[in-house]
Amino acid sequence: MNAKLVLEDGTVFHGKSFGHHGSTAGEVVFNTGMVGYPESLTDPSYAGQILCTTFPLMGNYGVPEKVLENEIIKNFESHRIQVQGMVVQEYSRGYSHHSASKSLGEWLKEEKIPGITGIDIRALTKILREKGTMLGKIIIDGKETEFYNPDKENLVEGVSIHKPIVYGEGGKKIILIDCGVKNNILHNFLKRGVQVIRVPWDFDFFAKDFEHNDFDAVFISNGPGDPKMCVQTIKHVITALNKEIPIFGICLGNQILALAAGADTYKLKYGHRGQNQPCYLVGEKKCFITSQNHGFAVKEETLPKDWEVWMRNANDETVEGIKHKTKPFFSVQFHPEANPGPKDTEFLFDGFLEGLK
């Protein structure tokens, strides 16, 4: 079935439909990863976005069945596909992998997610690199739809849970604020023997009637959209800061922690999305290769004087981590839990928990 990708600047790419035969709209972003589409497509941080994969071949290893560990899906980052649509240069209908149970196209069709193949990905990526991330729409079989700007919505509300869930029986208790948490973050905490109390993005975990308010630390998860939409989350993190409760944030959690501390955030021109982003520790000759997926960042010059930039992106020097100079508060912009990507920085989970002893 004929399909086309239309960008808000009027650029049109023609291709063929695969997946769900329905039109869609969102923010068009690109990911530079060679593999990992099952994890990327199910990452809640991609909510509201049309994902363009720069590696030219997609679908060649199919899609596995869901595997559970501790009642949490292990091989996907959430319970469903989160993107608005998918754009690839060449879709492989044939697939081969020992764990595969269906094709990428079948999976997209099941979850009603449109896909378009036959696009000149190099040309599309160059446009996004020059002009920046922009709105777009995938039109299938001439069925028109309006442009959709996800930044004008609180996307976190749509990907967070609705009531608290408790995992594990460890000695230390961690409040995990779910702004669209990836499953592997949960797995990383649980395999380290802690109890995780997962709460909705706007939940007041300091309420006197909350049965788990005797926690040891707070974790702020990744998630989609503009962090300034998370007004209630920021309010509760401010309370945690004032009580000097240890805090660790990842991705959107980095931005929310900065906002709670009194700093500002801004939208990047095209964001960082992929599994090969180099980040270095400020003041040290140590660099890590990281997995990333974000479109916003912390504005360095607005950090209060008792906070400091902890890590930077080696490509563009943007802030990739902040920490308080004297208190147990820190966060990173990248994904130490990976999935997909390198696990170079998984030690951050250990450092966070060791600080609670």
CB 176 within 8 A of CB 203: no
Q: Catalytic residue at 179?
A: no
For the domain bounded by 2-152, which CATH number is listed? 3.50.30.20
pTM score, two decimals? Answer: 0.97
What is the phi/psi pair of residue 211, to 5°?
A: -70, -15
pLDDT in the model for residue 171: 84
Q: Catalytic residue at 335?
A: yes
Distance CA 339, CA 220 (A): 18
Two tokens at 295?
A: 């479109």
Distance CA 23, CA 146 (A): 10
Whole-number Cα distances in Å, 224 to 71, 103, 146: 24, 27, 21
Residues 289-304: tens digit of each pLDDT:
999 999 999 999 999 9
Q: Residue 30 in 3-state DSSP? A: strand
DSSP state string for 203-247: --TT-TT-TT---SEEEE---SS-GGG-HHHHHHHHHHHHTT--E
- Any bridge partners for residue 274, and if so which? 292
pLDDT surpassing 80 at residue 170: no
pLDDT surpassing 80 at residue 357: no
Q: Residue 86 in 3-state DSSP? A: strand
Query: Which residues neighbour 208 within 8 Å (Cβ) at sequence distance 6 or greater?
Result: none
Q: Residue 92's closest CA among 81, 107, 100, 104?
A: 104
What number is the average pLDDT over the span 258-267? 98
Q: Where are the domains of the chain?
A: 2-152, 155-354
Burial class (CB in 10 A: 0-12, 13-18, 19+), 302: middle
Residues 68-97: tens digit of each pLDDT:
999 999 999 999 999 999 999 999 999 999
- Catalytic annotation, pick one of 52, 251, 272, 294: 251
CA 80 to chain centroid = 14
pLDDT in the model for residue 316: 96
CB 246 within 8 A of CB 217: yes
CATH class assigned to 155-354: alpha beta
